[in-house]
Amino acid sequence: MTMQHTPHNYSRRQMLQASAAAVAAGSGFPAAMAQGNEMNMAKIILGSPAGTLMDLFSRRIADAIQPAYARNIIVENRNGAGGQIAISAVKAAPADGTTILATPSPMMYLYPYTYKKLPYDPVNDFTPVSLGAVFDVGFAVGPMVPASVKTMPEFFTWCKANPGAANFGSPAAASTLHFVGSMAARAAGVDLTHVAFRGTTPAILDMIGGQIAAVCAPVGDFLPFLADGKCRILATTGAKRSRFAPNVATFQEQGYKDIVLNDWFAFFVAAKTPPAHVQRLNAAIKSALATPAVIKALEDRGLEPRWSTSADMAARLKSNMAQWAPIAKSFNFSADS
């Protein structure tokens, strides 16, 4: 469904770190950037609440790219409208590289097909800077669902026997997380009600509190709740099993052949930002993603650090848009903007 990736292993991370260090040492990147940098303040804007996976990711990167990119970098959480407020703020900002968008992928490649009045054009209003991280999506259940239910087919059997409780939550309507659950239900011939939340955390809290049956979210968002048995993941969306949940079978393994998804977080700036600023920010992000502390912080939450060129990020976005257009159309779903 989307581009797949090969998970990092430790030796690969070591090679990446060594390579990045060699490039930095050979080019004098950190010192040159700091000495020649005239940017005093920059900000990263995101549409997710504080404490979310997207927020953690953004703050780690912000800390790691200063002072190389700007002397001071702040993170602003502009919540609301499924991320559209944050994205619109970056669109309207001066195209000088001081305002950076950190966003999950659905707001860029899926919203154009699910919102009738989207206030931005993902391709024409922004310049991609770099990919930041990739991750698998998980489908998990809480205490409302009996402990004997351990797979997606078993969950849908339970749903058929308990139609009043057949529901699942996601952080936003019209997102890939929404569609993953709906695609699985459609394949199983089950009427599964979707409940949209304002963020992943409230959805998961309602699930572990027994208010809803299940949640579809990034695998990393479930990790803090797995150890004590508050929830259990029934499936993941990767082409291979997630190394963060190796005992959980993928949707493909369980018979849902069309559900293969490797989602992403990425960075963008306003269109017409000078290429020099884009290149400097891209280089700073590349250096940050090769930093052991950043790698560990992201991997502790189920994220795979992943850098790309601006051109590669643009190609990925267009490819994802082409792949998801027919899926969104098949559901005939329209969200209020």
pLDDT tens digits along 99-118: 999 999 999 999 999 988 89
Which residue pairs from 162-168 have beta carbons closer than 8 angstroms and sit at least 24 positions apart in sequence?
A: 163/191, 165/213, 166/190, 166/191, 166/192, 166/193, 166/213, 167/192, 167/193, 167/194, 167/195, 167/212, 167/213, 167/214, 168/139, 168/192, 168/193, 168/194, 168/195, 168/212, 168/213, 168/214, 168/215, 168/216
Query: Does residue 33 have a pLDDT over 60?
Result: no
Average pLDDT value over all residues in the chain:
88
Confidence of residue 15 (pLDDT cuts 50, 70, 90): very low
- At 165 the pLDDT is 96
Residue 81 neighbours by CB under 8 Å, 6+ apart: 47, 337
**The pLDDT of residue 30 is above 70:** no
**Domain 10-135+263-331 adopts which CATH fold?**
D-Maltodextrin-Binding Protein; domain 2 (3.40.190)
Average pLDDT over residues 242-246: 95
Alpha-carbon dihedral 224, 229, 234, 240, rounded to 10 degrees:
50
Q: For residue range 197-241, list pLDDT tens digits in order.
A: 888 889 999 999 999 999 999 999 999 999 888 999 999 999 999
The yes-or-no verdict on residue 17 having pLDDT over 80 is: no
Peptide bond into 7 cis (omega under 30): no
Ramachandran assignment for 141, one of left (phi > 0), alpha (psi -120 to 50 degrees), beta (any other): beta
10-135+263-331 and 136-236, same CATH topology: yes
Q: Give residue-wise pLDDT tens across range 257-310.
A: 999 999 999 999 999 999 999 999 999 999 999 999 999 999 999 999 999 999
* pLDDT category of residue 10 using cuts at 50, 70 and 90: very low
Range 141-166 average pLDDT: 97
Amino acid 49: pLDDT: 86
Residue 210: left if φ>0, alpha if ψ -120 to 50, beta else—which one? left
Place of tokens 């087919």: 153
Q: Tell me which long-range contacts 311-318 makes (C-beta under 8 A, separation of at least 24).
A: 312/131, 313/128, 313/129, 313/130, 313/131, 313/266, 314/123, 314/128, 316/3, 316/131, 316/264, 317/108, 317/109, 317/122, 317/123, 317/128, 318/123
The end-to-end CA distance of the chain, in Å, is 26
Mean pLDDT of 313-324: 95
Q: Is the pLDDT of residue 336 over 70?
A: no
Q: Residue 37 pLDDT > 70, yes or no?
A: no
The CATH topology of domain 136-236 is D-Maltodextrin-Binding Protein; domain 2 (3.40.190)
Half-sphere exposure of 309 (CA within 13 A, CB side): 4
pLDDT at 8: 39
Query: What average pLDDT score do residues 129-136 get?
Result: 97
CA pair distance 325, 110, nearest whole angstrom:
7
How many whole angstroms separate alpha carbon 243 and alpha carbon 12?
15
Return the domain boundaries, the chain. 10-135+263-331, 136-236
What is the model's pLDDT at position 34?
A: 38
Lowest mean pLDDT among 36-45, 62-71, 203-212, 263-272: 36-45
CB-CB contact of 75 with 58 (8 Å): yes
pLDDT exceeds cutoff 60 at 191: yes
Q: Which residue has the tokens 């009738």?
A: 116
Handedness of CA 279, 54, 293, 246 (dihedral sign): negative
Question: How confident is residue 124, by pLDDT bands cut at 50, 70 and 90?
Answer: very high
